[in-house]
Amino acid sequence: MPKLNENYLNLKESYLFSEISHRVNSYISTNPDKRVIRLGIGDVTLPIGPAVISQLHEGVNALANAETFKGYGPEQGYAFLREAIVDYYKQNNVIIDADEVFVSDGAKSDTGNITDLFDKDNVILIPDPVYPVYVDTNIMNGRNITYIDANIQNNFLPMPDHSVHADIIYICSPNNPTGAAYNKEQLKEWVDYALENNAVILYDSAYECFITDETLPRSIFAIDGAKKCAIEFCSLSKTAGFTGTRCGYTIVPKDLTFTASNTAQMSLNAMWNRRQTTKFNGVSYIVQKGAAAVFSVEGMAQCKKNIQYYQENARIIAEGLAQKNIRYFGGVNSPYIWFECPNNMDSWDFFDYLLCHAQIVGTPGAGFGKNGQKFFRLTSFGNRENTIEAMERINKLF
Ligand code: MLT
């Protein structure tokens, strides 16, 4: 009999968004006549822009001819896409090298897979509430987690406690689920803390394209010293509507080295390369062709137009909550609106209440950690009509 990874016994029975789907499907099967509006999982609804679509077609066409056919590509991504990402960073005054860029099928996989590079025995700091992938993947590996509270008192932006040592620190900014975003001074404090502790920051910037406040950093590498202590994960899911197409990238600086127990210098860039070349065969050529077009002038303009549409949805949601005196956070510099459950309800109770009485699906805050117990998240990624209708239904409900 195989000895199983019994760390799985320590996980919640199902992944947050699977649990939500399960509850929604069960509601729909007993209430087939009701029109359910889904503002739960952050899944985009607008089609991908024409500049990207035309390059996806080009990618398909290339596979139809012997001269342009592509088989296995580089595991790290095609040079044309890695260079396009380097240029994108340059536009934000961040200089990285193409061999620090690793193209992948998204930030979810990479933030989970990165745990391969670290020993079980590490002090891991994870904010609460947080994107559940960071927590679940560490539990799968049997690691203990130290949670840091993100709450109203600290504007959902916890700062380092210099009296506590950490080896690995997770930061998501703009934050999923709270929508809070660190400014440069705050991030600098985290970078300094990581350097003091010889720690690594795993920085999820999947929502950077939602930043409208130009003083806020869109990359941790905008902060001095970050290349010595941080890995950044980014994604085209929300930037370019790639939730189904799948493409993201991870930046692992070459300066990121640590001393092994035998005193050898270990480079996280080399380790990640080793890991990816062993376990991953790269993103399809077709998808990478489309992804590169995201970074073209035309492609980016089309993406920005879609993002503005979602930002207007966020404004409509925020306005609707304000009218009902429901305290909310986020929605600016972020596609998520995080609010207190009315009448002090627990978030899963509120989830059921909203589904049964208004046929609206949101995400219960408790799914992101104990500090989310009394909070709820709505996404701005729905279509306009549904977003407006959802807020009208909420207006009538309270
Ligand atoms: C979310 O709703 O939190 C995200 O869509 C999940 C994800 O990006 O995997």
pLDDT tens digits along 222-243: 999 999 999 999 999 999 999 9
Distance CA 56, CA 285 (A): 9
C-alpha 237/C-alpha 217 separation (Å) is: 20
108 Cβ inside 6 Å of ligand 1: yes
Nearest CA to ligand 1 atom 1: 42
Structure token pair of residue 281: 């065969």
Contact (CB, 8 A) for 204 and 111 = yes
Strand partners, 101: 251
Does ligand 1 come within 6 angstroms of the Cβ of 176? yes
147/109 Cα distance (integer angstroms) = 22
Å from CA of 342 to ligand 1 middle: 24
Q: What is the C-alpha separation between 215 and 150, in angstroms, rounded?
A: 22
Give the closest residue (by CA) to ligand 1 atom 4: 42
Does 42 sit in the ligand 1 pocket, CB within 6 Å? yes
Choice from 131, 375, 378 to test ligand 1 binding pocket (greatest atom count within 8 A of CB): 131
- Domain boundaries, given as residue ranges, for the chain: 14-43+298-397, 51-296
**The model's pTM:** 0.97
Looking at CATH, the fold of the domain delimited by 51-296 is given as Aspartate Aminotransferase; domain 2 (3.40.640)
Residues of the chain below pLDDT 70: none
Model pLDDT, residue 13: 85
Please give the pLDDT value at position 24: 96
Q: What is the pLDDT of residues 296-308, one digit of tens each?
A: 999 999 999 999 9
CATH topology of domain 14-43+298-397: Aspartate Aminotransferase, domain 1 (3.90.1150)
Locate the ligand 1 atom nearest the alpha carbon of residue 237 and give its number. Answer: 8
For residue 120, what pLDDT is reported?
95
Tokens of 342: 């009315």
pLDDT at 115: 98
- β-bridge mates for residue 330, sequence order: 337
Residue 398's pLDDT is what?
87
Local structure of 392: helix, strand or coil? helix
SS3 (DSSP) at 258: strand
Whether 210 and 334 have beta carbons less than 8 Å apart is answered as: yes
